[in-house]
Amino acid sequence: MRKFRQIRAGFTVVELLIYMGLLSILIVVLSQMFVTALNVQLESQATSSVDQDSTYVIARLSYDMQRADQIDIPASLGATTSELQLTIDGVSSSYQLNNGNLAVTRSGQTTQLNGYDSQFSSLSFQRLGNVGGENTIQVTGTVVSRTQANTLNETKDIQVTIGLRENN
């Protein structure tokens, strides 16, 4: 009588080690690609929020300055303040930083002008012009993202000079 050996299906230890090694390498490469893609997305989001907010704030201040009847604060030529107060259609509007956010207060209602993803680290208003000339305000500040990309915050310095409309 002949004895037959029974053949078992399975993997050897060497095959399992090779499989585990290749799988580990694949997981490491994929996780590094994921982390890189996430960092690029965060950097893009930070840059976008800073650009959008600085553009909006400049546009809003320009719009309001064009509608303003007079500049109340800063009161004198050459004065630099952290607050801008305008009279628009007989109503006072005040622009100032509140915990890093630029807020406008008009008729007792306060509205935040910058978005959630950014804040102002500095902001100042300087009254320019000459006696009897056109009233202008130079706005200087720095917008900083709240989203960190590669342990750095995106920043953008703004400086714009805006004049009141001419009264006809």
**DSSP state at residue 133:** S
Residue 167 has pLDDT above 60, yes or no: no
Choice between 36 and 132, residue whose per-residue pLDDT is larger = 36
103 bridge partner residues: 96, 112
Q: Give the amino acid at 143.
A: V
pLDDT attached to residue 30 = 95
- Supply angle C-alpha 145, 123, 140, rounded to 5: 100
26 bridge partner residues: none
d(CA 66, CA 62): 6
pLDDT attached to residue 168 = 43
Q: What is the pLDDT of residues 16-26, one digit of tens each?
A: 999 999 999 99
pLDDT attached to residue 115 = 85
The pTM of this model reads 0.73
162 bridge partner residues: 137
Q: What is the pLDDT of residues 98-128, one digit of tens each?
A: 888 999 999 889 998 888 888 898 999 999 8
- Report how far apart, in Å, the C-alpha atoms of 151 and of each of 25, 39, 47 are: 27, 10, 14
d(CA 124, CA 65): 15
d(CA 161, CA 61): 10
DSSP run (H or E) holding 19: helix 13-67
Mean pLDDT value of segment 28-57: 88
What is the Cα 167 distance to its own chain's centre?
36
Kindly report the average pLDDT of the chain as a whole number: 85
